[in-house]
Chain A
Amino acid sequence: MEWSAAGIVLSAVPYGEGDALATVFTEDHGVYRGLAKGGLSRARAGVWQAGNLVELRWVARLPDQLGSFSGELVHPSAALAMHDPLRLAVLSSACAVAEGALPEREPQTRVFAGLLHLIVHLGDGLSGVAPLAAWELGLLAELGYGLDLSACAVTGGRDGLAYVSPKSGRAVSEAGAGEWRDRLLRLPPFLHGGEAAPEPEDLLHGLRLTGHFLARNVFGVRHSPVPAARTMLADRIAVSAAASQGR
Protein backbone atom coordinates (compact mmCIF):
# COMPACT_ATOMS: atom_id res chain seq x y z
CA MET A 1 0.00 0.00 0.00
CA GLU A 2 1.31 3.43 -0.84
CA TRP A 3 0.27 6.84 -2.01
CA SER A 4 1.95 10.13 -2.83
CA ALA A 5 0.38 13.54 -2.37
CA ALA A 6 1.06 17.06 -1.19
CA GLY A 7 0.06 17.49 2.44
CA ILE A 8 0.20 19.88 5.35
CA VAL A 9 2.05 18.74 8.46
CA LEU A 10 -0.34 19.16 11.39
CA SER A 11 1.96 17.82 14.10
CA ALA A 12 5.05 15.70 14.64
CA VAL A 13 5.55 14.07 18.02
CA PRO A 14 8.97 12.64 18.94
CA TYR A 15 8.99 8.85 18.73
CA GLY A 16 12.07 7.08 20.00
CA GLU A 17 15.38 8.80 19.56
CA GLY A 18 15.29 10.00 15.99
CA ASP A 19 11.83 9.33 14.59
CA ALA A 20 8.61 11.32 14.72
CA LEU A 21 4.97 10.33 14.70
CA ALA A 22 3.60 12.71 12.10
CA THR A 23 0.02 13.76 11.43
CA VAL A 24 -0.57 15.25 7.99
CA PHE A 25 -3.57 16.54 6.07
CA THR A 26 -3.92 15.80 2.36
CA GLU A 27 -6.63 16.60 -0.13
CA ASP A 28 -7.46 13.06 -1.23
CA HIS A 29 -6.66 11.08 1.92
CA GLY A 30 -7.69 13.48 4.67
CA VAL A 31 -5.89 13.42 8.02
CA TYR A 32 -3.32 10.63 8.07
CA ARG A 33 -0.82 9.48 10.67
CA GLY A 34 2.46 7.74 10.04
CA LEU A 35 5.98 7.26 11.25
CA ALA A 36 8.46 9.76 9.83
CA LYS A 37 11.72 7.86 10.08
CA GLY A 38 14.55 10.19 11.01
CA GLY A 39 11.99 12.95 11.44
CA LEU A 40 13.87 14.38 14.41
CA SER A 41 17.28 14.22 12.77
CA ARG A 42 19.23 17.39 12.12
CA ALA A 43 18.66 17.04 8.38
CA ARG A 44 14.93 16.24 8.47
CA ALA A 45 13.53 18.03 11.54
CA GLY A 46 12.91 21.21 9.52
CA VAL A 47 10.57 19.34 7.19
CA TRP A 48 8.29 17.97 9.92
CA GLN A 49 7.31 21.29 11.48
CA ALA A 50 3.60 21.98 11.90
CA GLY A 51 2.24 24.08 9.05
CA ASN A 52 4.77 23.06 6.40
CA LEU A 53 3.52 21.95 3.00
CA VAL A 54 5.31 18.73 2.14
CA GLU A 55 5.32 16.37 -0.85
CA LEU A 56 4.53 13.11 0.95
CA ARG A 57 4.87 9.43 0.30
CA TRP A 58 3.10 7.00 2.63
CA VAL A 59 4.00 3.31 2.58
CA ALA A 60 2.58 0.40 4.56
CA ARG A 61 2.21 -3.33 4.02
CA LEU A 62 -1.52 -3.29 4.90
CA PRO A 63 -3.97 -0.37 4.66
CA ASP A 64 -4.82 -0.47 8.37
CA GLN A 65 -1.22 -0.17 9.49
CA LEU A 66 0.31 3.05 10.75
CA GLY A 67 2.76 3.11 7.85
CA SER A 68 5.70 5.37 7.35
CA PHE A 69 6.12 8.76 5.71
CA SER A 70 8.89 10.25 3.68
CA GLY A 71 8.59 13.85 2.62
CA GLU A 72 10.19 16.73 0.74
CA LEU A 73 9.54 20.30 1.76
CA VAL A 74 7.42 22.31 -0.70
CA HIS A 75 6.52 25.45 1.25
CA PRO A 76 8.27 26.27 4.57
CA SER A 77 5.30 27.94 6.29
CA ALA A 78 6.68 27.24 9.78
CA ALA A 79 10.05 28.86 9.13
CA LEU A 80 8.36 31.86 7.49
CA ALA A 81 6.10 32.35 10.52
CA MET A 82 8.63 31.90 13.31
CA HIS A 83 9.72 35.55 13.51
CA ASP A 84 6.19 36.86 14.11
CA PRO A 85 4.28 35.79 17.25
CA LEU A 86 0.81 36.35 15.78
CA ARG A 87 1.58 34.70 12.46
CA LEU A 88 3.02 31.70 14.31
CA ALA A 89 0.01 31.61 16.64
CA VAL A 90 -2.42 31.60 13.67
CA LEU A 91 -0.48 28.80 11.96
CA SER A 92 -0.26 26.69 15.15
CA SER A 93 -3.93 27.26 15.92
CA ALA A 94 -5.09 26.23 12.44
CA CYS A 95 -2.99 23.05 12.52
CA ALA A 96 -4.09 22.13 16.05
CA VAL A 97 -7.79 22.69 15.25
CA ALA A 98 -7.55 20.68 12.02
CA GLU A 99 -5.82 17.83 13.80
CA GLY A 100 -8.32 17.76 16.66
CA ALA A 101 -11.48 18.35 14.65
CA LEU A 102 -11.14 16.26 11.50
CA PRO A 103 -11.77 12.52 11.34
CA GLU A 104 -8.88 10.35 10.20
CA ARG A 105 -8.57 9.05 6.65
CA GLU A 106 -11.64 10.88 5.31
CA PRO A 107 -11.08 13.32 2.45
CA GLN A 108 -12.10 16.88 3.30
CA THR A 109 -11.43 18.63 0.01
CA ARG A 110 -12.84 22.05 0.84
CA VAL A 111 -11.31 22.18 4.32
CA PHE A 112 -7.95 21.23 2.82
CA ALA A 113 -8.22 23.87 0.10
CA GLY A 114 -9.07 26.49 2.72
CA LEU A 115 -6.21 25.52 5.00
CA LEU A 116 -3.77 25.40 2.09
CA HIS A 117 -4.80 28.90 1.00
CA LEU A 118 -4.50 30.10 4.60
CA ILE A 119 -0.98 28.81 5.23
CA VAL A 120 0.44 29.78 1.84
CA HIS A 121 -0.92 33.34 1.98
CA LEU A 122 -0.42 33.85 5.70
CA GLY A 123 0.82 37.35 6.45
CA ASP A 124 2.39 38.99 9.47
CA GLY A 125 0.55 40.41 12.45
CA LEU A 126 -3.23 40.43 12.61
CA SER A 127 -3.70 39.91 8.87
CA GLY A 128 -4.06 36.14 9.19
CA VAL A 129 -6.73 36.14 11.89
CA ALA A 130 -9.74 37.01 9.72
CA PRO A 131 -8.92 34.27 7.14
CA LEU A 132 -8.48 31.84 10.03
CA ALA A 133 -11.90 32.66 11.49
CA ALA A 134 -13.46 32.33 8.02
CA TRP A 135 -11.74 28.95 7.57
CA GLU A 136 -13.05 27.80 10.96
CA LEU A 137 -16.54 28.83 9.87
CA GLY A 138 -16.13 26.67 6.75
CA LEU A 139 -14.74 23.81 8.85
CA LEU A 140 -17.84 23.91 11.07
CA ALA A 141 -20.06 23.78 7.97
CA GLU A 142 -18.13 20.82 6.52
CA LEU A 143 -18.47 18.95 9.80
CA GLY A 144 -22.21 19.51 9.81
CA TYR A 145 -22.37 22.35 12.30
CA GLY A 146 -22.62 25.27 9.88
CA LEU A 147 -24.00 28.56 11.10
CA ASP A 148 -27.02 30.07 9.34
CA LEU A 149 -26.01 33.64 8.58
CA SER A 150 -28.51 34.15 5.73
CA ALA A 151 -31.29 35.92 7.63
CA CYS A 152 -32.35 37.07 11.09
CA ALA A 153 -33.86 34.24 13.13
CA VAL A 154 -36.29 36.71 14.78
CA THR A 155 -37.38 39.14 12.09
CA GLY A 156 -36.48 37.19 8.94
CA GLY A 157 -34.72 40.25 7.54
CA ARG A 158 -31.42 40.02 5.72
CA ASP A 159 -30.01 43.40 6.74
CA GLY A 160 -28.33 44.54 9.91
CA LEU A 161 -27.22 41.09 11.04
CA ALA A 162 -25.07 41.68 14.12
CA TYR A 163 -25.34 38.65 16.39
CA VAL A 164 -25.49 34.87 16.37
CA SER A 165 -27.53 32.76 18.74
CA PRO A 166 -25.10 30.59 20.77
CA LYS A 167 -27.78 27.92 20.91
CA SER A 168 -29.13 27.63 17.36
CA GLY A 169 -26.21 29.11 15.41
CA ARG A 170 -28.60 31.39 13.49
CA ALA A 171 -27.94 35.06 12.82
CA VAL A 172 -29.88 37.75 14.67
CA SER A 173 -30.22 41.35 13.55
CA GLU A 174 -29.64 44.39 15.73
CA ALA A 175 -33.40 45.01 15.72
CA GLY A 176 -34.27 41.42 16.55
CA ALA A 177 -31.78 41.05 19.40
CA GLY A 178 -33.92 42.94 21.89
CA GLU A 179 -33.38 42.06 25.54
CA TRP A 180 -31.28 38.97 24.58
CA ARG A 181 -28.52 41.14 23.15
CA ASP A 182 -26.10 40.42 26.01
CA ARG A 183 -26.54 36.66 25.66
CA LEU A 184 -25.80 36.58 21.94
CA LEU A 185 -22.45 36.21 20.20
CA ARG A 186 -21.31 39.18 18.14
CA LEU A 187 -21.16 38.60 14.40
CA PRO A 188 -18.32 40.73 13.02
CA PRO A 189 -18.94 42.20 9.53
CA PHE A 190 -15.91 40.44 8.00
CA LEU A 191 -17.61 37.06 8.51
CA HIS A 192 -20.69 37.92 6.47
CA GLY A 193 -19.54 39.88 3.49
CA GLY A 194 -18.17 43.06 5.08
CA GLU A 195 -15.28 44.46 3.11
CA ALA A 196 -13.84 46.93 5.61
CA ALA A 197 -10.58 45.91 7.27
CA PRO A 198 -11.50 44.33 10.61
CA GLU A 199 -10.43 45.97 13.86
CA PRO A 200 -8.77 43.81 16.56
CA GLU A 201 -12.08 43.82 18.45
CA ASP A 202 -13.88 42.40 15.39
CA LEU A 203 -11.24 39.69 15.09
CA LEU A 204 -11.71 38.81 18.74
CA HIS A 205 -15.50 38.56 18.24
CA GLY A 206 -14.91 36.38 15.19
CA LEU A 207 -12.67 34.00 17.13
CA ARG A 208 -15.13 33.92 20.04
CA LEU A 209 -17.96 33.08 17.64
CA THR A 210 -16.21 30.16 15.92
CA GLY A 211 -14.52 29.16 19.19
CA HIS A 212 -17.89 28.76 20.91
CA PHE A 213 -19.23 26.37 18.27
CA LEU A 214 -15.92 24.51 17.95
CA ALA A 215 -15.83 24.01 21.71
CA ARG A 216 -19.46 22.90 21.94
CA ASN A 217 -20.06 20.93 18.75
CA VAL A 218 -16.65 19.62 17.72
CA PHE A 219 -14.41 19.26 20.77
CA GLY A 220 -17.12 19.17 23.42
CA VAL A 221 -18.79 16.06 22.03
CA ARG A 222 -15.44 14.29 22.33
CA HIS A 223 -14.96 15.57 25.86
CA SER A 224 -11.72 17.22 24.84
CA PRO A 225 -10.80 20.87 25.33
CA VAL A 226 -10.20 23.33 22.53
CA PRO A 227 -6.49 23.02 21.58
CA ALA A 228 -4.15 25.11 23.71
CA ALA A 229 -2.74 26.78 20.58
CA ARG A 230 -6.25 28.08 19.72
CA THR A 231 -6.74 29.42 23.25
CA MET A 232 -3.33 31.12 23.21
CA LEU A 233 -4.18 32.81 19.90
CA ALA A 234 -7.48 34.12 21.29
CA ASP A 235 -5.59 35.44 24.34
CA ARG A 236 -3.12 37.26 22.08
CA ILE A 237 -5.94 38.85 20.06
CA ALA A 238 -7.67 39.86 23.30
CA VAL A 239 -4.51 41.72 24.33
CA SER A 240 -4.35 43.43 20.92
CA ALA A 241 -8.04 44.36 21.14
CA ALA A 242 -7.60 45.79 24.64
CA ALA A 243 -4.57 47.79 23.46
CA SER A 244 -6.45 49.19 20.45
CA GLN A 245 -9.41 50.19 22.64
CA GLY A 246 -7.04 51.93 25.06
CA ARG A 247 -5.60 54.06 22.27
Chain B
Amino acid sequence: MGGPELDTLIQLFSRLPGLGQRSARRVVLKLLQAPEARMLPLANALAAAARAVRTCEQCGNLDSQSPCSICSDPERDRSMVCVVETVGDLWALERARIYQGLYHVLGGTLSALSGTGPDDLNLPPLLTRIETSNVGEVILALSATVDGAATAHWLADRLAPSRVRITRVAQGVPVGGALDVLDDGTLATALRARR
Protein backbone atom coordinates (compact mmCIF):
# COMPACT_ATOMS: atom_id res chain seq x y z
CA MET B 1 0.00 0.00 0.00
CA GLY B 2 2.63 2.54 1.05
CA GLY B 3 5.82 0.52 0.76
CA PRO B 4 7.10 -2.59 2.53
CA GLU B 5 7.83 -0.73 5.80
CA LEU B 6 4.21 0.27 6.23
CA ASP B 7 2.91 -3.14 5.17
CA THR B 8 5.16 -4.86 7.68
CA LEU B 9 4.06 -2.47 10.42
CA ILE B 10 0.38 -3.00 9.67
CA GLN B 11 0.86 -6.77 9.57
CA LEU B 12 2.63 -6.75 12.93
CA PHE B 13 -0.02 -4.59 14.60
CA SER B 14 -2.86 -6.65 13.15
CA ARG B 15 -1.56 -9.73 14.98
CA LEU B 16 -2.06 -8.07 18.37
CA PRO B 17 -5.14 -8.88 20.47
CA GLY B 18 -8.12 -6.69 19.65
CA LEU B 19 -6.64 -5.41 16.40
CA GLY B 20 -7.46 -6.49 12.88
CA GLN B 21 -6.23 -5.17 9.56
CA ARG B 22 -8.47 -2.11 9.64
CA SER B 23 -7.66 -1.06 13.19
CA ALA B 24 -3.95 -1.78 12.60
CA ARG B 25 -4.03 0.67 9.69
CA ARG B 26 -5.64 3.29 11.94
CA VAL B 27 -2.95 2.78 14.59
CA VAL B 28 -0.17 3.12 12.03
CA LEU B 29 -1.74 6.24 10.55
CA LYS B 30 -2.05 7.80 14.00
CA LEU B 31 1.59 7.02 14.76
CA LEU B 32 2.74 8.44 11.44
CA GLN B 33 0.97 11.73 12.06
CA ALA B 34 3.62 12.53 14.67
CA PRO B 35 6.59 10.19 14.23
CA GLU B 36 8.85 12.09 16.61
CA ALA B 37 6.28 12.43 19.34
CA ARG B 38 4.59 9.04 19.10
CA MET B 39 6.42 6.56 16.94
CA LEU B 40 10.02 6.85 18.12
CA PRO B 41 9.14 6.87 21.83
CA LEU B 42 6.99 3.79 21.23
CA ALA B 43 9.81 2.06 19.35
CA ASN B 44 12.28 2.90 22.11
CA ALA B 45 9.88 1.72 24.81
CA LEU B 46 9.27 -1.56 22.95
CA ALA B 47 12.99 -2.16 22.53
CA ALA B 48 13.71 -1.35 26.17
CA ALA B 49 10.91 -3.63 27.41
CA ALA B 50 12.03 -6.46 25.13
CA ARG B 51 15.55 -6.21 26.59
CA ALA B 52 14.63 -5.72 30.24
CA VAL B 53 11.41 -7.57 31.02
CA ARG B 54 11.78 -11.15 32.12
CA THR B 55 9.78 -13.81 33.96
CA CYS B 56 10.22 -13.83 37.75
CA GLU B 57 11.88 -17.10 38.74
CA GLN B 58 9.88 -17.24 41.97
CA CYS B 59 6.33 -16.39 40.95
CA GLY B 60 6.17 -16.22 37.14
CA ASN B 61 5.26 -12.52 37.05
CA LEU B 62 6.69 -10.27 34.33
CA ASP B 63 9.05 -7.58 35.59
CA SER B 64 12.35 -5.94 34.74
CA GLN B 65 13.93 -7.68 37.72
CA SER B 66 13.91 -11.23 39.01
CA PRO B 67 12.74 -11.77 41.73
CA CYS B 68 10.06 -9.29 40.68
CA SER B 69 9.17 -6.13 42.56
CA ILE B 70 6.30 -7.92 44.34
CA CYS B 71 8.40 -10.89 45.48
CA SER B 72 11.20 -8.60 46.67
CA ASP B 73 8.91 -6.10 48.43
CA PRO B 74 9.58 -6.42 52.21
CA GLU B 75 6.19 -4.85 52.98
CA ARG B 76 4.31 -7.77 51.42
CA ASP B 77 2.63 -10.40 53.60
CA ARG B 78 4.75 -13.50 52.94
CA SER B 79 2.37 -15.86 54.70
CA MET B 80 -0.13 -15.70 51.81
CA VAL B 81 0.31 -16.77 48.19
CA CYS B 82 -2.43 -16.11 45.66
CA VAL B 83 -2.33 -18.52 42.72
CA VAL B 84 -3.55 -17.02 39.43
CA GLU B 85 -3.67 -18.33 35.87
CA THR B 86 -1.99 -15.50 34.00
CA VAL B 87 -0.03 -12.31 34.58
CA GLY B 88 -3.19 -10.46 33.45
CA ASP B 89 -5.03 -11.91 36.46
CA LEU B 90 -2.20 -10.76 38.74
CA TRP B 91 -2.45 -7.25 37.31
CA ALA B 92 -6.24 -7.27 37.87
CA LEU B 93 -5.78 -8.11 41.56
CA GLU B 94 -3.00 -5.54 41.94
CA ARG B 95 -5.20 -2.92 40.31
CA ALA B 96 -7.85 -3.51 42.98
CA ARG B 97 -5.28 -2.85 45.77
CA ILE B 98 -7.03 -5.17 48.17
CA TYR B 99 -4.41 -7.89 48.48
CA GLN B 100 -1.00 -7.44 50.06
CA GLY B 101 0.36 -10.98 49.87
CA LEU B 102 2.51 -12.69 47.25
CA TYR B 103 1.41 -14.22 43.96
CA HIS B 104 2.12 -17.28 41.90
CA VAL B 105 1.35 -17.34 38.16
CA LEU B 106 0.43 -20.87 37.11
CA GLY B 107 0.59 -20.13 33.38
CA GLY B 108 -2.75 -21.71 32.48
CA THR B 109 -5.10 -24.46 33.61
CA LEU B 110 -5.23 -28.19 33.09
CA SER B 111 -7.09 -28.88 29.88
CA ALA B 112 -7.53 -32.19 28.12
CA LEU B 113 -8.70 -30.43 24.96
CA SER B 114 -5.75 -28.09 24.59
CA GLY B 115 -3.37 -30.77 25.83
CA THR B 116 -2.22 -28.85 28.93
CA GLY B 117 -1.11 -31.35 31.55
CA PRO B 118 0.40 -30.98 35.03
CA ASP B 119 3.92 -30.82 33.58
CA ASP B 120 2.97 -27.76 31.52
CA LEU B 121 2.04 -25.70 34.58
CA ASN B 122 4.50 -23.53 36.49
CA LEU B 123 4.12 -25.49 39.73
CA PRO B 124 7.64 -26.40 41.02
CA PRO B 125 8.50 -22.84 42.23
CA LEU B 126 5.25 -22.77 44.25
CA LEU B 127 6.02 -26.12 45.90
CA THR B 128 9.54 -24.92 46.67
CA ARG B 129 8.24 -21.67 48.15
CA ILE B 130 5.77 -23.54 50.37
CA GLU B 131 8.49 -25.93 51.55
CA THR B 132 11.16 -23.35 52.22
CA SER B 133 9.28 -20.30 53.48
CA ASN B 134 6.61 -19.67 56.05
CA VAL B 135 3.53 -19.82 53.83
CA GLY B 136 0.34 -20.26 55.86
CA GLU B 137 -2.33 -19.85 53.21
CA VAL B 138 -2.61 -20.48 49.48
CA ILE B 139 -5.50 -18.66 47.77
CA LEU B 140 -6.64 -20.28 44.53
CA ALA B 141 -7.87 -17.45 42.30
CA LEU B 142 -8.53 -19.48 39.16
CA SER B 143 -11.30 -18.90 36.65
CA ALA B 144 -14.82 -20.21 37.30
CA THR B 145 -14.75 -22.61 34.36
CA VAL B 146 -14.70 -26.41 34.24
CA ASP B 147 -10.95 -26.33 33.51
CA GLY B 148 -10.32 -23.74 36.23
CA ALA B 149 -12.29 -25.72 38.81
CA ALA B 150 -10.61 -29.00 37.83
CA THR B 151 -7.20 -27.33 38.15
CA ALA B 152 -8.14 -25.90 41.56
CA HIS B 153 -9.20 -29.35 42.83
CA TRP B 154 -6.04 -30.93 41.44
CA LEU B 155 -3.88 -28.22 43.00
CA ALA B 156 -5.65 -28.58 46.35
CA ASP B 157 -4.86 -32.32 46.27
CA ARG B 158 -1.22 -31.64 45.40
CA LEU B 159 -0.84 -29.09 48.20
CA ALA B 160 -2.74 -31.08 50.84
CA PRO B 161 0.39 -32.86 52.23
CA SER B 162 2.06 -29.50 52.89
CA ARG B 163 -0.70 -28.69 55.40
CA VAL B 164 -1.06 -25.07 54.34
CA ARG B 165 -4.53 -23.56 54.48
CA ILE B 166 -6.05 -23.68 50.99
CA THR B 167 -8.85 -21.27 50.11
CA ARG B 168 -10.64 -20.31 46.92
CA VAL B 169 -11.97 -16.93 45.82
CA ALA B 170 -15.75 -16.71 46.15
CA GLN B 171 -18.08 -17.01 43.19
CA GLY B 172 -21.49 -15.43 42.87
CA VAL B 173 -23.36 -12.17 42.44
CA PRO B 174 -21.13 -9.39 41.06
CA VAL B 175 -21.23 -5.93 42.63
CA GLY B 176 -23.89 -3.93 40.82
CA GLY B 177 -25.44 -7.08 39.37
CA ALA B 178 -29.19 -7.64 39.56
CA LEU B 179 -30.36 -11.16 40.38
CA ASP B 180 -32.88 -11.34 37.53
CA VAL B 181 -30.18 -11.06 34.85
CA LEU B 182 -27.83 -13.66 36.37
CA ASP B 183 -27.62 -17.10 34.78
CA ASP B 184 -28.81 -20.15 36.73
CA GLY B 185 -25.26 -21.41 37.29
CA THR B 186 -24.09 -18.20 38.93
CA LEU B 187 -27.22 -18.06 41.07
CA ALA B 188 -26.74 -21.66 42.21
CA THR B 189 -23.10 -21.00 43.06
CA ALA B 190 -23.98 -17.79 44.90
CA LEU B 191 -26.67 -19.53 46.98
CA ARG B 192 -24.30 -22.37 47.83
CA ALA B 193 -21.63 -19.90 48.98
CA ARG B 194 -24.04 -17.84 51.11
CA ARG B 195 -22.96 -16.84 54.59
Taking Cβ atoms with an 8 Å cutoff, the residues of A that contact B are: 11, 13, 17, 45-47, 49-52, 73, 75-76, 78-83, 85, 88-89, 91-92, 96, 227-229, 232
Known A82-B146, A92-B146, A92-B150; judge A46-B113 contact (CB<8 A).
no
B149 at the A/B interface (Cβ < 8 Å)? yes
B124 at the A/B interface (Cβ < 8 Å)? no
Give the chain A neighbours of B156 by CB distance below 8 A. Answer: 85
Complex-state Cα separation, A93 to B163, whole angstroms = 29
Find the residue from B17, B114, B153 having the highest chain A CB count within 10 A.
Answer: B153
Give the chain A neighbours of B145 by CB distance below 8 A. Answer: 45, 49, 78
Known A17-B17, A88-B150, A88-B153; judge A229-B112 contact (CB<8 A).
yes
Q: Pick the contact of A50 from B117, B146, B186 — CB < 8 Å?
A: B146
* 11 examples of A-B residue contacts, CB within 8 angstroms: A11-B113, A17-B17, A46-B186, A78-B145, A79-B184, A79-B185, A79-B186, A82-B144, A88-B146, A89-B150, A92-B112
Complex-state Cα separation, A232 to B146, whole angstroms = 14
Give the chain A neighbours of B97 by CB distance below 8 A. Answer: none
Give the chain A neighbours of B192 by CB distance below 8 A. Answer: 83
Beta-carbon nearest neighbor of A52 in chain B: B185
Find the residue from B113, B153, B192 having the highest chain A CB count within 10 A.
Answer: B113
Give the chain B neighbours of A76 by CB distance below 8 A. Answer: 183-185, 188
B18 at the A/B interface (Cβ < 8 Å)? yes
B134 at the A/B interface (Cβ < 8 Å)? no
CB pair A80–B188 under 8 Å, yes or no, is yes
Known A51-B146, A88-B149; judge A78-B18 contact (CB<8 A).
no
Residues of B within 8 A of A (CB-CB), count: 23
Complex-state Cα separation, A80 to B128, whole angstroms = 34
Known A49-B145, A49-B146; judge A227-B112 contact (CB<8 A).
yes
Q: Pick the contact of A13 from B113, B117, B144, B186 — CB < 8 Å?
A: B113
B189 at the A/B interface (Cβ < 8 Å)? yes
Q: Mark B130-161, 1 if CB is under 8 A from A, else 0.
A: 00000000000000111001100110110000
Question: Which DSSP category, helix, strand, loop or mixed, fits chain A's interface?
Answer: mixed
Beta-carbon nearest neighbor of A91 in chain B: B146
Beta-carbon nearest neighbor of B18 in chain A: A17
Closest 9 CB pairs of A and B: A79-B185, A76-B185, A85-B153, A82-B149, A228-B112, A76-B184, A50-B146, A229-B112, A49-B146
CB pair A75–B184 under 8 Å, yes or no, is yes
Complex-state Cα separation, A45 to B184, whole angstroms = 13
Beta-carbon nearest neighbor of B112 in chain A: A228
Give the chain B neighbours of A91 by CB distance below 8 A. Answer: 146
Given A78-B185, A83-B189, A85-B153, 19 more A-B residue pairs with CB atoms under 8 Å apart are A13-B114, A17-B18, A46-B186, A49-B145, A49-B146, A52-B185, A76-B183, A76-B188, A78-B145, A78-B146, A82-B189, A83-B149, A88-B146, A88-B150, A89-B150, A92-B146, A228-B112, A229-B112, A232-B150
Give the chain B neighbours of A49 by CB distance below 8 A. Answer: 145-146, 185
CB pair A73–B185 under 8 Å, yes or no, is yes
Complex-state Cα separation, A6 to B73, whole angstroms = 53
How many Å from the CB of B24 to the closest CB on chain A? 14
Complex-state Cα separation, A47 to B145, whole angstroms = 10
How many Å from the CB of B28 to the closest CB on chain A? 20
Known A13-B114, A88-B150; judge A79-B189 contact (CB<8 A).
yes
Beta-carbon nearest neighbor of A84 in chain B: B153
Give the chain B neighbours of A51 by CB distance below 8 A. Answer: 146
Beta-carbon nearest neighbor of B168 in chain A: A83
